[in-house]
Amino acid sequence: MDRAIPKHIAIIMDGNGRWAKKRLLPKKMGHKAGADALKKLLKKVEKTDIEHITVYAFSTENWKRDKQEVDDLMKLLKDYIGQYIKESEENNLIIDTIGDISVLSKDLQEDLAHLKELSSKNTGLKLHIALNYGGRDEIIRAIKKVAIDVKENNIEIDNITEDLFSSYLDTKEYQDPELIVRTSGELRTSNFLVWQSAYSEFYFSDKLWPDFTFEDLEKAINAYQKRERRFGGRLDG
Ligand code: IPE
Ligand code: IPE
Ligand code: MG
């Protein structure tokens, strides 16, 4: 029997640069096409039983790119946050971010705060945007918070469990993704959800992100539904 569809799917949206290059377009057009592909996809995901979508939008390593590309990405982000604010009532998405957004411009941080506040009134799909996100960075930030709580006698070292540690992560409020999808044919996780992906199923698509559609996501879900998840145990006892 096929298992139920995943409640939480995380997506590494990769391949915008190659999509643009193939069309002899500037990279920023690839990123724009990628952002549009996400919007289109979300409209269809809204109608399914999927409850959470986490998307990797900008990694802690993406600052290594040239200034022009980073600036273009930040501008695009501002643009799309503005659109999501305008369309909040209509799209019914509940939006938040994971990652350290304290280094983003004040302007962008304010827009994000506004979007989070506004969309918290919605009732639909929960969209978690990974922004200046790195799994290792998230773990280090969590460790620092745990250390402070130990130092201030709020917790005891012996009480540090996997569950307790998870409650210090950016994703503390929801379950780990059952399925992680990466596009563009790259077979790595690039520092995405390092802790949370311990038992996630992975699905790799050769499609470049701007070409990825809901039908492609359905293929990933179908593949997931046929997987045997053992979590280290045995299904036959
Ligand atoms: C993913 O597309 C988007 C970001 C990392 C921001 P890329 O820009 O990495 O696309 P490729 O890998 O160069 O094709
Ligand atoms: C991962 O893609 C980050 C995002 C999709 C935001 P990258 O393109 O940055 O990853 P690498 O460099 O191929 O590992
Ligand atoms: Mg890439």
Q: 104: helix, coil or strand?
A: coil
Question: 122: number of CA atoms within 13 Å, CB side?
Answer: 23
**Ligand 2 atom closest to Cα of residue 58:** 6
Q: Using N-to-C axis directions, what is the helix angle for 27-45 and 67-86, rounded to 10°?
A: 30
Which residue, judged by its Cα, is nearest atom 1 of ligand 2?
A: 190
CB atoms within 10 A of CB 219: 15
Taking Cα atoms as reference points, which of 93, 158, 157 lies closest to residue 128? 93
Q: Ligand 2 pocket check: which of 186, 187, 188, 208 to mutate, most ligand atoms within 8 Å of Cβ? A: 186
Residues with CB under 5 A from ligand 3 (ion): 14
Q: What does the pLDDT average to over 208-236?
A: 96
Is 159 an active-site residue?
A: no
232: left (phi over 0), alpha (psi -120 to 50) or beta: left
pTM across the whole model: 0.98
Quote the CA–CA distance of 224 and 3 in Å, as a whole number: 8
Nearest CA to ligand 1 atom 3: 14
Which of the ligands is closest to the CA of residue 190?
2
At 80, list the tokens.
């799309």
Q: What is the pLDDT of residues 45-60, one digit of tens each?
A: 999 999 999 999 999 9
Task: Identify the structural domains of the chain with CATH numbers, from first to last.
Answer: 8-225 (3.40.1180.10)
Taking 90 as the threshold, does the pLDDT of residue 237 lie above it?
no
Residue 136: band (very low, low, confident or very high) from pLDDT cuts 50, 70, 90: very high
Average pLDDT over residues 114-134: 98
Distance from the alpha carbon of residue 98 to the mean position of ligand 1, in angstroms: 19
- The one-letter amino acid code at 15 reads G
Q: How many angstroms separate the alpha carbon of residue 63 from the centre of ligand 2?
A: 11
Catalytic residue among 36, 62, 72, 159: 62
The pLDDT of residue 104: 98
142 within 8 A of 20, measured Cβ to Cβ: no
Burial (CB < 10 A; 0-12, 13-18, 19+), residue 230, is exposed
pLDDT band at 1 (very low <50, low <70, confident <90, very high): low
> Active-site residue 62, yes or no?
yes
Ligand 1 site residues, Cβ closer than 6 angstroms: 13-18, 58, 62, 73, 184
Please give the Cα distance from 139 to 195 (Å, whole number).
8
Q: Residue 89 Cα, ligand 1 centroid: separation in angstroms?
A: 30
Number of alpha carbons in the 13 Å side-chain half-sphere of residue 149: 17
